[in-house]
Structure 1
């Protein structure tokens, strides 16, 4: 489970055998909320990740930081952390930005699925990474990805179509346009 406290920090509790609590451990679980570590100081338990939105995936966690970056931690066997690796992380790492991202690029929403992740940027583009069984990343393929790929727009969408909200499920994805 994840939440943002009134202090602006991200907190997590529950199972953490894959590091999904983000507190630099793989302890079995925590029955009380623990502060998710600051990505720039992962060993300092007094610092935390300032976030504006969080989402729990299967065995991984995601957040949109107050700096507009997306962060991910936990299991990464399918590339669902979007950092270009398949390495499990016990503290947050930055999710990669698209290669053609403008300098003012920011994320506004993230959603964790079973072994995949989705994100929306401030321009209304949607992205996905991780397991792509059943085409749930929405890029027209079933190829899994360790870096974010752009979700296609519906064939009959108007030219000014943007994504407003996304949600990752176990074997499917949803969006509001």
Structure 2
């Protein structure tokens, strides 16, 4: 791909891709109807575009309509659609730019999931201490919380 080199990690979402370069910058391209590219607008991007405001990125996850990144300081950032609380910020407000998940620190990697039901997204984070955190849609118990909670808008420690 012209102009994008030194890629050390990447993750394809449903219709978009995230790539991390060796310098810790994050690049995104593809569909962007919900702001999942994190570039401040909701227009599609064919060439890779750098996600502004994020540096030191070490892990990414491209979901169906939302994206997540972990910085080298262990903080988690997310953007795109937030209709099930998949941002973990306590609200259902979406964003086309990265927002920090305020209650998480010491995280090494993230993953995003999607239920077979349309738009039932959820998020997971793995701490350096081995703890698993989850938030978002929980229709089928995918958050691992052991209860009938339909949604969790903030990260909750899974029962593992």
TM-score range, shorter chain: 0.7 to 0.9
Deviation at 1:142, TM superposition (A): 3.4
Specify the alignment match of 1:37 in structure 2.
Answer: 52
Match of 1:91 among 76, 93, 97: 97
Map Cα deviations across residues 60-86 of structure 1 (whole Å, 9 max, x no partner). 000001221011000000000111110
Match of 2:84 among 61, 72, 78: 78
CA distance in 2, matches of 1:127, 1:4: 23
CA contact (8 A) 1:132 1:145 kept: yes
Deviation at 1:141, TM superposition (A): 1.9
Unaligned 5+ segments in structure 1 are 39-47, 99-104, 154-177
3-state SS, counterpart of residue 140 of structure 2: helix
Deviation at 1:7, TM superposition (A): 2.2
RMSD (CA atoms): 1.2
CA contact (8 A) 1:84 1:96 kept: no
Specify the alignment match of 2:20 in structure 1.
Answer: 4
Deviation at 1:49, TM superposition (A): 3.4
Match of 1:23 among 36, 39, 56: 39
Q: How does 1:22-171 map to 2 (within 5 A)?
A: 22-27=38-43, 29-38=44-53, 48-97=54-103, 105-114=105-114, 115-143=121-149, 144-153=151-160
Q: Higher strand share goes to which structure?
A: 2
How many residues end up aligned between the 2 structures?
Answer: 137
**TM-score for both structures, normalised by structure 1:** 0.74
Map Cα deviations across residues 148-173 of structure 1 (whole Å, 9 max, x no partner). 011102xxxxxxxxxxxxxxxxxxxx
Unaligned 5+ segments in structure 2 are 1-16, 115-120
